[in-house]
Structure 1
C-alpha cells in the first residue's frame, strides 16, 4: 500500500479519536467547523465574515450559517463596524475562548498520554515527521487555492 493511501485511511480515525477525548471532560460536542471558526477568531481577533471565509477557505454562506448558530448559542459576538453599517466584526466570546482552552488541554493531555505509551523510536519518528506534516498541509492548502 502506498503512503498516500495509508495516510488517507489513518487521518479520519485519528481525528475522531482526538475528538472523542473531549467527551471525557464533559465538554459540549461542537462540530469541527465551529471549532475551526472559533480558532480563527481567537487567533486573529475580530474579523469580518468575509475575512473568516477567506481564512477557512469556505463559502461566505457557510460562515453566515455558522455565525447565526454560534451567536444564538453565545459562542460568537457580533459588533457592527463603526465605519460601515453593512459590516459586522466577529469575535469569540469569553465562553468560547474558555471552551477552546479546555478542548486544547484535554486533547493535548490525551495525545501526550498516548504518545507516552509508544516506544521511544515511534515517538522520535512522529517528532521528526511534524515538519513534513506541516509542509504537506501547506501544499494541500496551496492546491485548494489553485483549484
Structure 2
C-alpha cells in the first residue's frame, strides 16, 4: 500500500461526504473557495483583498472575482479605507458568519456521529493522527507556490 496514493484517494470522498451533510440540512451550497474566503475574514475580522489573497495563497484576481460574486450575494461587505480611498477593507457579513457557524455545527455533528460509530481504538488512532495531519498541511503549503 502506498500511503500517499491511498490518502489522496480518500480526501475527495471525505470532503464530499461532509459537504453532503450541509445539503441535507438545507444549507446553501457555497463553493469551497467562497467558504475559505469567509473563514479567512471571520478569523481576521477585516482585511484588504491583497491580504486575503496572500492568506489563501491565491492570485489577487481570484479574490476580486470571489468578492464581486459574494458582495452581490450579501456575504461580503466592502468598506473604503479612511486612509487611502483606493483601498477597500473586506468583512464577512453577519449573514455569512451565521452561515459559517451553521456549516460548522452541521459538519461537526455529522463527524461526531461517524466517529462515535468507530471502535475506540480506531477513534484514538485518528485522534493521534490529527497533529500529523496538521503538520502534513503545513508541509504541503510550504511546497506549493502561491497562486
Shift of 1:146: 8.4
For 2:29, what is the secondary structure of its paired residue?
coil
Deviant stretches of 4+, over 6 Å:
none
Secondary structure, aligned partner of 2:144: helix
RMSD: 1.2
Partner of 2:66: 66
Change (3 A) 1:106 1:146: closer
The 2-side partners of 1:62 and 1:73 are apart by: 17
Partner of 2:130: 130
Q: Which residue of 2 aligns with 1:42?
A: 42
How many residue pairs are counted as aligned between the two chains?
A: 147
What is the TM-score with the length of structure 1 in the denominator? 0.98
Matches within 5 A, 1:13-92: 13-92=13-92
CA distance in 2, matches of 1:89, 1:146: 21
Structure 2 residues not aligned, in runs of 5+ = none
What does residue 102 of structure 1 align with?
102
Q: TM-score, normalised by structure 2?
A: 0.98
